Amino acid sequence: IWFNLARLRYEQGYHDQVRDLLSRIGDQLPDNVEAERKYLLSTMAIAARNYREAEQYSRQIDPDATWKTYAQYNLGVALAERGNYPRGKAILGELGQMEPQDEEQLALRDLANLSLGLKQLRIGENRQALENLSRIRLEGPLSNQALLASGWAWFALDDFDQALVPWRVLLERNA
């Protein structure tokens, strides 16, 4: 009951109540629910900008649970954007090269590569951005964003002919 209430409060945006509700839970949760509990605790720590605590919770999640991948992604993005870019880059880079077990993890791998590539593009690491953007599937939900960003990375490198390649691919796609 405490877990379901905590999850409901999280979805409603009452984050201050989530941690209290989760702390009332003992050790009797099934593995998949325990993984989600640790994910929620990690997310609450990220919201409080307590990245060490978030990483500790993330490490405690069962490695086979998809919740671990979500927790690592959220932590990587938070660190790259607000805390510690090198550590965030390492986490997102690792996720961007993982061997996905299912379609959901494949999508998370693409998302990690896109997030890291866009961050690198914003801070002028254009060659590294191209490397990460090139790992994204050409036929996936994030492919158009990756193609657009790749063009901008080539443009920033003053290689205008290369910039046109992904942009032409975009022009040929159904908007």
Distance CA 31, CA 62 (A): 8
Largest CA distance in the chain: 60
Task: Report helix, strand or coil for 163.
Answer: helix
pTM: 0.89
Q: What is the mean pLDDT of residues 86-103?
A: 94
Residue 29 banded pLDDT, cuts 50, 70, 90: confident
User: In this structure, what are the phi and psi dihedrals at residue 65, rounded to the nearest 5 degrees?
Assistant: -85, 135
* Beta-strand runs (E) in the chain: none
pLDDT tens track for 34-68 = 899 999 999 999 998 999 999 999 999 998 889 99
Say which residues have a Cβ less than 8 Å from residue 133's Cβ, sequence separation at least 6. 113, 114, 117, 146, 149, 150, 153
Task: Report helix, strand or coil for 84.
Answer: coil
Distance CA 41, CA 89 (A): 22
Q: Residue 122: count other Cβ atoms within 10 Å of its Cβ.
A: 10
pLDDT tens track for 120-163 = 999 999 999 999 999 999 999 999 999 999 999 999 999 999 99
Q: What is the mean pLDDT of residues 85-108?
A: 94
